[in-house]
Structure 1
Amino acid sequence: MKIKFLIFIITISSSVSIVAQERAKDTIDDQVVNVVTPYKPTISDAFKIKDTPKLQDSNLVKKKEVKYNIFSIPVASTFTPAKGKAATVDKAKAVKLYDNYASLGVGTYTSILGEVYLNHELSNSENVGGYFSHHSSQGGIEDLLLDDDFSTTHLNAHYSQKLRDFSWKVDGGFDLMTYNWYGLPQNFFGQTEADMIDPSHTFNSFYLGGKINFEDAIINDGSVRFRRFGDNQDSGENRFVAKAGFDIPVQGEAIKTKLYVDYIGGSFDTDYENLGDINYGNVTVGLSPSYQLTQDDLTVNLGLSLVYLNDTELSDNKFFIYPNIDASYRLVDEILIAYGGITGQLQQNSCYDFATENPFVSPTLYVAPTDQRYKGFLGLKGKLSNSVSYNVKGNYYAEENKALLKANDARGDATADYQYGNSFGVVYDDVTTFSVAGELNIDVNRNFTLGFKGEYFNYDMDNEAEAWNLPNVTGSIFMDLQISEQWYAGASAIYVGERKDQQDLVATLLPQDPSPVISLDSYFDVNAHIGYKINDQLSVFGKVNNILNQDYERYLNFPVQGIQILAGATYQFDF
């Protein structure tokens, strides 16, 4: 059969060769004939490649079966394979946050520091809470002729509710502060006069207020607050402040507007020279519209403040107009932002503010508002990296009737415990101030933060010889460190530059030369604290203040306590 198939192939090949030779001799030109016909496929034209092809050759050779053998040799081994386990991510333990805490500490100079903060959720929209704090010391500053103990106690309670369209909050509280006029000028008086003085001075304050915030309304927010402030020398002061913020639509734009009413009225039994009582009172009404323009990296706020003042004691009325303009421009994204502006305000002074700033004031203060005609500022701020931010600013103030706290003169005919030069009064002057301030914040991570602040001041007075008790330089450094999950620490340092004051001995038969201006030395106060978290609820802490043990004078004739050490504990809890 194979021979027949071979003869057939040879015959066909010979025929093709003969035809090819005869065609080479053909003289007819080649022509191309294109036959076009539609293709009509049928099912039989399709074929499918089989996944597992099968050979049709019947002469297959059977594959010889091969057997493999492994010659195992027993080997002594102590290895025991562990069972496989899927890798998992370690989840951090959820930190339990508590709504309430109580803290108590005791320290040198027989100091007691206590705080209690309470907050309870009545429902999803209601909260009630309160705050209590107490700080006292029995004193013990060396070389004093009068007692220097003090005590401050603050109590506050609040209730808040959040509804669908608005939220509101009311709060009230009471403050009680006791200090001593212990700064007796020993160049004028001695132990004889000290034995006749009762230096204790007590302030008391009661306040009540509330605020409300609206959602999607013309009126954005509002607040009211009333405070009654007095002391054990029959002084008294009432102050009521109401504020509201709302938007005024103008041609599709919103003009943000603030409106406020500020009333203050008070009295003192006598002035410092015992010439008569002191009464003061005024009402101010202010309106401050503002419009914001934003274009690319530039933001500008254009506004002004209109203020009406009615002096109820002198029956005098005044009207003030202040600029209220500021702008910022992003020079390099968040790295470099330039900003500046010019603003002004009528600043309402009060006996409460003076006593909070300097608790050694006498109950003989003249209280009047300060006209800050304008405050110009220009600065640069931004980020040097993701963890370092900065702010540099220059300021220029022009203020009329600026309040300055100055030491009272020592009286040779003193009849009151504060007339021995151991208290402070207030004087007013027109002052222009230039200052340069800088700030640097380093937030490396959640466990470490570091900050620096500093500012230089230059004052120009119209009448007074100096800007009494205002420093020429201030600075501060602060640091917080989370050492481990249990340990934490922090430190701060405050620098206050040189200040000026003056004090004379008056009302005496002996001739006295005017006292020169007295310079109070600058001081550097370093403080530190450390704490250990025993568990989620209980921790202990220690604090050290005035680590350098400086005996500086914060005010004239008023030295501060030396190094102070305090230790205590804090407990967190829920109801």
Structure 2
Amino acid sequence: MQKQLIYIAVFAGFTTAVSAQKDDKDLGTEVVNVVKPYTPTLSDAFKVKEVPVIDDEETRAKETITYSIFSFPVASTFAPAKGKAAGVEAEQAEKTYKNYAALGFGNYAAVNGELYITENVGETGFVSGNLSHVSQNADIKDTELDSKFMDTRFGVLYGNTAETFDYKVDLGFRNQRYNWYGLPDFFGTSLTETQRETLISSIDPLQTYNEFELGGNLKTTSGIFNRGDARFTRFWDAFGSAENRFVFKPELSFDVAGVQLNTAFKVDYLSATFENAFPSEFPVTVAPGSNENANVILNASPSIKFAKDDFNVDLGVGITYLAESKNRLSGLDLETKSRFFLFPKIRASYRIVGDLMIAYAGAEGELRQNSYRDLVNLNPFLSPTLSLRPTENPLNFYGGLKGKLASTVSFNVRGSYSVEDNRPFFVANSYDVMQGNEPYLYGNSFSVAYDKLKTLSFYGELNADLSEAIRFGINGTFATYNTDTLDEAYNLPEIQLAGTIDFKFSSKWSGGSKVFFVGERTDIQADPEFISIGDEKKTLDSFFDVNAYLKYDHNKQLGAFLRLNNIANQSYQRWLNHPVTGFQVLLGATYKFDF
């Protein structure tokens, strides 16, 4: 606890030192969620960050956002009518470039590369392509197994904008390679040194994830159909695990007795197969078999919006139907269930003092699909032995205040209470020399445990434009957890703090820094020497990390950058037994161009 207080004091000092600058211009609200150590791509530091604007119409709770893995810069196809203002001399427009390339190299044999290409097709269409690669080709210090990683993405997109509608279609592929390098400290204690070295040399800890994605969206400005999104994802690994997911989300809007009714629909189908099951989950007399899950979630969320003076309210309800078609655990077919759910969808806001102070509150709920892909994106060291089930979130109640302390300083404070049933927790797998020789059976991987979780949390953020050249932001989350059957809310920190600052030194030089703190977490892992006593709790220390960047624009096309990550060179563990990479330096160049 003393260590955490020291970290928080340092963090507060950083905040105080920066906040003494002069305020000059408006800044909106920005939310930063720290869920893992900062591992940016090349584009993160150099793309202009938009200033968020406070939503006067309605205020939403902080939502869990599912990101598509393929993102493209969209070329404008708007062609304004030619005209000439009498007596006004037209200024020459600044030259912009549609295409972008970046390449950087660093210690740990790191390679970061990115290429975006966008071209217009006809008067209203465009096509985009994206290729990115991030890799670390040297091992982390003091790891006995291979700890390299690689992440490569490729995608293409076509879009078209007409007078009353626009649509986009995209296709992409992603390949990730990670290693289960986190051997527990008690690994091989019952073996001789020679036996231990022989065993380690025989382990190939490589896991490969592949993803294929095809999707699109359509937006209209006439009729009752507002928009529709459809996406198919195929995700699979090197150990016979695979899942298919299809999501379709249309939105309609129409008048009923003079009142506008908005209705969002969602179809979410998931089918997953895991050829392996973790042996320790079952009696020794049962041979492990495959795990299979398949279900579809159907949802309709009608809502009505009211607005009067400074008061806004959105009243709605979520009507959800879950139908399970497959529930196989270790080769045994279990009962499948189908049931209905009703969830509140209520949001309200009141402008107490115009835009200077806005009170907001809400009560919402949902049935959330848990996919193998989404879980791997949170923790790539999972064993390919999972059983998937959706999470029921019957209530997420929140309320808070947001607004402006000055013309250039914005704030947001919020309290929330949430209940989740079948909430997934990452738990370290145990190690037993009798379990087998699969590379994830040495206490170096994680499984998913499900339990009911009640969370009481408080969140606050402050953002400011300290001058024309300095932007600053800080946020923090403090939470308490209560579980039903698990002893702890494993791998969930009670404290998270984050801060960012960006500088514009001149027309050619810019830079910035990101700082974050994550509090202690608890995991659990069985030591084979203490099986009769039970699983042993493990405490993961809190950590404090600092990252920085420096960018130089030689001209409108050519630039260079320097990236520094984990400046404090801490060997902390984001996941049990998996230390992160130490101090990292990345040097590279960027180039903007047209064909």
Instruction: Please give the range of the TM-score, normalised by the shorter of the 2 chains.
Output: 0.7 to 0.9
Residue type at the aligned position of 1:475: L
Residue type at the aligned position of 2:572: Y
- Structure 2 CA distance, aligned partners of 1:445 and 1:176? 42
Q: 1:549 to 1:111 in 2, by over 3 A?
A: same
Trace 1:95-134 onto structure 2 (pairs within 5 A): 95-134=94-133
SS in structure 2 of the partner of residue 119 of structure 1: strand
Q: 2:290 aligned with 1:290, yes or no?
A: no
- Structure 2 CA distance, aligned partners of 1:116 and 1:487? 23
- Structure 2 CA distance, aligned partners of 1:92 and 1:475? 46
Partner of 2:47: none
Q: 2:288 aligned with 1:266, yes or no?
A: no
Partner of 1:229: 235
- Structure 2 CA distance, aligned partners of 1:550 and 1:511? 32
* Pairwise CA distance, 1:188: 2.4
Indicate which of 567, 573, 579 corresponds to 1:553: 573
CA contact (8 A) 1:399 1:430 kept: yes
- Structure 1 CA distance, aligned partners of 2:582 and 2:95? 39
- Structure 2 CA distance, aligned partners of 1:350 and 1:287? 21
Partner of 1:86: none
CA contact (8 A) 1:326 1:340 kept: yes
Superposed CA offset, 1:383-432 (max 9, x none): 11111100000010011110111111112213211011100000000110
The structure having more radius of gyration, on CA atoms, is 1
CA contact (8 A) 1:161 1:167 kept: yes
- Structure 1 CA distance, aligned partners of 2:466 and 2:531? 63
- Structure 1 CA distance, aligned partners of 2:99 and 2:534? 57
Partner of 2:432: 411
Superposed CA offset, 1:443-492 (max 9, x none): 24553211001100100011001111111111111111111011010110
Q: 2:353 aligned with 1:332, yes or no?
A: yes
Residue type at the aligned position of 1:504: A
Partner of 1:239: 245
Partner of 1:42: none
SS in structure 1 of the partner of residue 135 of structure 2: strand
Q: 1:533 to 1:219 in 2, by over 3 A?
A: same
CA contact (8 A) 2:186 2:527 kept: no
* Pairwise CA distance, 1:91: 11
Stretch of structure 1 that moved more, 364-373 or 140-149: 140-149
- Structure 2 CA distance, aligned partners of 1:475 and 1:396? 19
Per the normalisation by structure 1, the TM-score is 0.82
Q: 2:497 aligned with 1:475, yes or no?
A: yes
Trace 1:211-226 onto structure 2 (pairs within 5 A): 211-226=217-232
Residue type at the aligned position of 2:157: H
Q: 2:211 aligned with 1:198, yes or no?
A: no
CA contact (8 A) 1:412 1:505 kept: no
How many pairs are equivalent? 485
Superposed CA offset, 1:118-174 (max 9, x none): 111123310100111100011322221101000000111100001122111100100
Per the normalisation by structure 2, the TM-score is 0.80
CA contact (8 A) 1:505 1:512 kept: no
CA contact (8 A) 1:182 1:558 kept: yes
Trace 1:475-554 onto structure 2 (pairs within 5 A): 475-506=497-528, 512-554=532-574
Structure 2: 5+ residue stretches without partners: 1-88, 189-195, 280-286, 327-334
CA contact (8 A) 2:527 2:536 kept: no
* Pairwise CA distance, 1:528: 0.3
Superposed CA offset, 1:316-342 (max 9, x none): 211000000010000001111000010
Stretch of structure 1 that moved more, 354-363 or 187-196: 187-196
* Pairwise CA distance, 1:247: 1.1
- Structure 1 CA distance, aligned partners of 2:135 and 2:141? 18
Partner of 1:28: none
Give the percent of matched residue pairs that are identical in Structure 1 and Structure 2. Answer: 41
Q: 2:584 aligned with 1:570, yes or no?
A: no
* Pairwise CA distance, 1:180: 0.2
* Pairwise CA distance, 1:518: 1.1
SS in structure 2 of the partner of residue 525 of structure 1: strand
Q: 2:485 aligned with 1:463, yes or no?
A: yes
Partner of 2:177: 178
SS in structure 2 of the partner of residue 312 of structure 1: strand
Partner of 1:71: none
- Structure 2 CA distance, aligned partners of 1:369 and 1:266? 12
Residue type at the aligned position of 2:480: N
Partner of 2:45: none
Residue type at the aligned position of 1:288: S
Residue type at the aligned position of 1:431: L
CA contact (8 A) 2:458 2:477 kept: yes
Superposed CA offset, 1:41-95 (max 9, x none): xxxxxxxxxxxxxxxxxxxxxxxxxxxxxxxxxxxxxxxxxxxxxxxxx999854
- Structure 1 CA distance, aligned partners of 2:251 and 2:99? 33
SS in structure 2 of the partner of residue 193 of structure 1: helix
CA contact (8 A) 1:397 1:433 kept: yes
Residue type at the aligned position of 1:245: E
- Structure 1 CA distance, aligned partners of 2:443 and 2:323? 34
Indicate which of 306, 310, 314 corresponds to 1:301: 314
- Structure 1 CA distance, aligned partners of 2:501 and 2:490? 31
Indicate which of 359, 381, 384 corresponds to 2:402: 381
Superposed CA offset, 1:189-208 (max 9, x none): 24343122110000000000
Partner of 1:357: 378
CA contact (8 A) 1:145 1:191 kept: no
Structure 1: 5+ residue stretches without partners: 1-89
SS in structure 2 of the partner of residue 384 of structure 1: strand
- Structure 2 CA distance, aligned partners of 1:511 and 1:381? 51
Q: 2:146 aligned with 1:147, yes or no?
A: yes
Stretch of structure 1 that moved more, 440-449 or 105-114: 440-449
Q: 1:193 to 1:91 in 2, by over 3 A?
A: farther
Q: 1:344 to 1:300 in 2, by over 3 A?
A: same
Q: Return the structure number with greater relative CO, CA threshold 8 A, min gap 6.
A: 2
Residue type at the aligned position of 1:352: R
